[in-house]
């Protein structure tokens, strides 16, 4: 029986993690959770999970109202509240389903507390991969990724000899505009970008899939998770999102991980610490799937991947600048304030103009995040 702290319970991954907890009350009990602004989700979650003893919300005003309504629960709010929740709640495993930079400090705190981290928040690794790995090496905390590509890689790497593997191949659907050339992207709208061909996900990751910044992030994530050289990780386009990643072996063969595009499988794999019942979450017959189509990845069509690679190669706080500028640009695009193609140019410009610190501490990463956000806001307002 694992006591679970669920960060981001109101989101796409968060609600699927709730399904898994509800499906197997013998293995999981929800002891604490967070939502952001969608506090209207709280009563229903509490009805199904009466053991919850602590909750964090985004706004202090919501915390004050909810405290009156549910006095037996320990309430927290804001970024500081997320950290307090990770320090004070009673849990064995935290599922980090927060989106963006907000997930970094909770990830680090869970590992500092020597707890199990089931990690959907890839931004934690993009901006703080070195800090996360340092904590994993020095403490007793454990990390299980939730991203479907990285669960696929974990499953395959557990079954082969590392020295027999030539490359990791991360599959990509190509996002909402995969059938459009760059020349057609000038006038695309947020509504069009939010229509992903194979996955239903939160807004930010759906935009990141359309630019493919998401795939750049996933290459960085794989590098940190599996200590794999960047030049030996490749992206391959795959239309159906059934093959979640591949290993290219030195003998010329390919090993693939295949399952339907349903995040319940990868989330369960992480939450059961790899000991998931395949009969429940994965298909029983290969005939349920296919056909499969693969295409070569064209970096000129998706420059965001190249921008992400340049940031990680530069190191220091460059990945934090990359992430913050991308997050701000995504939200400006979603609000209709900048065109789609400006996301890439703004991120690229932030990396040129915001200064990079070497060997960053957490404080340096937080500062880089703030500077990059200010830079993007000013740029969008036409100021320098
Ligand atoms: N969705 C997928 O299928 C999928 C697949 C692989 C990886 N991932 C990764 O999983 C993470 C979550 O993605 P998602 O699609 O589930 O996102 P989502 O649907 O937007 O959910 C994000 C959650 O985080 C909360 N949140 C957002 N900003 C916050 C802040 N500043 N403080 C506190 N809470 C905050 C939201 O609260 P409110 O909505 O209540 O404001 C919501 O509960 C991302 O890192 C994504 O890249 C997602």
Q: Mean pLDDT across the chain, nearest whole number?
A: 95
Beta-bridged to residue 78, according to DSSP, are: none
**Dihedral (C-alpha) 27, 30, 32, 38: value to the nearest 10 degrees?**
140
Whether the Cβ atoms of residue 222 and residue 235 lie closer than 8 Å to each other: no
The DSSP secondary-structure symbol of 71 reads T
Q: What is the pLDDT of residue 381?
A: 87
∠ at Cα 214 (209, 220), nearest 5°?
A: 160
- Return the best residue to mutate from 6, 13, 96 for the ligand 1 pocket (most ligand atoms within 8 A of CB): 13
The residues spanned by each domain of the chain are 2-145, 150-174+212-296, 303-380
Q: Is the pLDDT of residue 290 over 70?
A: yes
Q: What is the pLDDT of residue 384?
A: 56
pLDDT tens sequence across 102-152? 999 999 999 999 999 999 999 999 999 999 999 999 999 999 999 999 999
Any ligand 1 atom below 6 A from CB of 102: yes
Q: What is the pLDDT of residue 287?
A: 78
Give distance in angstroms: CA of 298 to centre of ligand 1. 29
Q: How far apart are the first and last CA of the chain?
A: 54
Closest Cα to atom 6 of ligand 1 = 147
Fold exhibited by the domain 2-145: Rossmann fold (3.40.50)
Q: What is the pLDDT of residue 187?
A: 92
**What are the Cα distances from residue 133, in Å, to 8, 115, 129?**
23, 14, 6
Q: Ligand 1 atom closest to Cα of 200? A: 3
Whether the Cβ atoms of residue 83 and residue 89 lie closer than 8 Å to each other: no
Give distance in angstroms: CA of 312 to centre of ligand 1. 23
For residue 53, what are the contacts with CB-CB under 8 A and spacing of at least 6? 31, 32, 72, 73, 74, 89, 90
- Return the CATH architecture of domain 303-380: Orthogonal Bundle (1.10)
Strands (E), 141-201: 142-145, 165-172
Instruction: Give residue 286's pLDDT band: very low, low, confident or very high (50, 70, 90).
Output: confident
∠ at Cα 265 (47, 7), nearest 5°?
A: 45
């Amino acid at each position: 029986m694992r006591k679970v702290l669920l960060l981001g319970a109101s989101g796409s991954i968060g609600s699927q993690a709730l399904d898994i907890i509800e499906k197997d009350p013998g293995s999981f009990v929800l002891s604490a959770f967070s939502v952001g602004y969608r506090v209207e989700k709280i009563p229903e979650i509490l009805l199904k999970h009466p053991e919850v003893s602590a909750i964090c919300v985004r706004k202090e005003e919501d915390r004050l109202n909810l405290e009156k309504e549910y006095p037996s629960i320990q309430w927290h709010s804001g970024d500081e509240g997320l950290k307090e929740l990770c320090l004070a709640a009673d849990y064995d495993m935290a599922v980090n389903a927060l989106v963006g930079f907000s997930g970094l400090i909770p990830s680090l705190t869970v590992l500092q507390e020597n707890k199990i981290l089931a990690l959907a928040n890839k931004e934690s690794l993009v901006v703080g991969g070195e800090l996360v790995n340092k904590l994993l090496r020095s403490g007793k905390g454990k990390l299980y990724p939730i991203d479907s590509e990285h669960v696929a890689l974990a499953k395959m790497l557990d079954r082969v000899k590392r020295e027999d593997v030539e490359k990791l191949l991360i599959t990509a659907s190509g996002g909402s505009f995969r059938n459009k050339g760059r020349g057609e992207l000038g006038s695309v709208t947020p509504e069009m970008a939010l229509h992903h061909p194979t996955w239903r996900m939160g807004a930010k990751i759906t935009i990141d899939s359309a630019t493919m910044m998401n795939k750049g992030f996933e290459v960085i994530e794989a590098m940190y998770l599996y200590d794999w050289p960047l030049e030996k990780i490749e992206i391959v386009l795959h239309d159906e999102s059934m093959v979640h990643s591949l290993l290219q072996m030195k003998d010329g063969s390919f090993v693939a991980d295949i399952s339907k595009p349903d995040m319940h499988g990868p989330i369960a794999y992480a939450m059961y610490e790899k000991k998931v019942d395949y009969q429940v979450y994965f298909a029983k017959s290969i005939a349920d799937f296919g056909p499969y189509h693969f295409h070569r990845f064209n970096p000129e069509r998706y420059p965001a991947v190249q921008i992400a690679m340049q940031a990680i190669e530069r190191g220091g706080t460059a990945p934090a600048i990359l992430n913050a500028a991308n997050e701000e640009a995504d939200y400006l695009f979603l609000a209709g304030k900048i065109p789609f193609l400006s996301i890439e140019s703004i991120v690229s410009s932030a990396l040129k103009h915001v200064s990079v610190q070497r060997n960053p501490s957490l404080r340096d990463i937080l500062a880089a995040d703030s500077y990059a956000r200010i830079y993007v806001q000013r740029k969008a307002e036409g100021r320098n």
